[in-house]
Structure 1
Amino acid sequence: MGYSRFDPAIQARAAWNAGKTVGTKRPLTQKHSWAIGFHLDRKGWLRDKALFDLAIDSKLRGCDLVKIKIGDVVAGADVRTRAIVIQQKTSRPVQFELTADVRATLLSWLERRCGSITDYLFPSRIDHAGHMSTRQYARLVDEWVTAIGLRKSEYGTHSLRRTKAAMIYRATGNIRAIQILLGHTKIENTVRYLGVDVEDALLLAERTEI
């Protein structure tokens, strides 16, 4: 059964998005990233630190991040410098880098987590053979951003996906590179994702001398 805006009963119903912040979530700044990393280190939450660091470096959607297996990031006894996964949304591969600090955190987590290359990197709390749920990942992100004084209504799992991409774009202005890193099929999607507008274009032009 549907509802009409002309029904008397509907007048008292609050809109689904009443009081909520909708739209694209903000990327974290470098200062925010450092603050969350420091908070997780201070708490000794090694799994959360590994998850956070990997989320920033990989720039993956939450649904892809939680399904990463140990074998995706490990080669022999070492953590890979680059990894590749097949995206759930597009069924296309996307490659990402793993920086030295992130590799060190992942190695520490793997030494504690143990497991084989076919096991999920971040197991479920309920089914240890399964992977962490996207809902659990989202709850953790809410805790992290709240812990450093940010509003969880303005940040989410997509904030972590956008963080490094936004920093690279601001440093280089190379939208095509960001498209590849995010695994977008169309560059128009990348433009919308970054929120590129006329002001951005003008700033890039002003920084370029001929």
Structure 2
Amino acid sequence: MGTLEIIRRNGEKVRLFSKEPFCTLKSAAQNSSLMGDDNVQLSIVSSELLNLGKGDKIIVEGEEYTIRTKVNREMLSDNHYVHDATFYGVMYELMKSLYRNTDANGKSSKSTFDLTYNIRDFVKVLIYNVSRDYPGLWAFDEANCPDTEPRTISFARNNCLQVLQMLCSDREFDLEFLITQKDGVRTIHIGKFGAKVVPPGWQRFL
């Protein structure tokens, strides 16, 4: 049986396989596809109320997943609780950052504008924007980004996830993005990676 724990926002850790106090997984499922869904759904049975909330996270195969929505709780008896929580991959952090006409120093003037760039320069602007909200956490594999012809694209208060998905769509550069994690840093890769990401097996946790 593998080890899985929840790391609270304050750093406290909650073991999901524990005899005292009792805590175990009722079920676990991962939804992961290239440029699409990336989440882990856990149903947790415990003898105590866990008080899980937004910002709590788990780490699966070195990848961070964080609670961003309300956790459903059910009290079946005084010492029998069920918690249903969805943990979202780091890709969803990009939704917090607005894609603005930002330079390498973080200075920006507009959120509605046109740019004429190749995909490498568009993604560099995206990193400048994300770094405003998550300093030091996001990087771009610029060296391995394919060369493309410049395109003129209009932006109007789009978040960075919307922009990344749009840039890679078949109506723009017809490429794919992949996000990897190492030592807490999220790196965006651009290229052709295949049709689907195969999620890690959950058998070792159950």
The two structures have a TM-score, normalised by structure 1, of: 0.24
From the two aligned structures, give the one with the greater helix fraction. Answer: 1
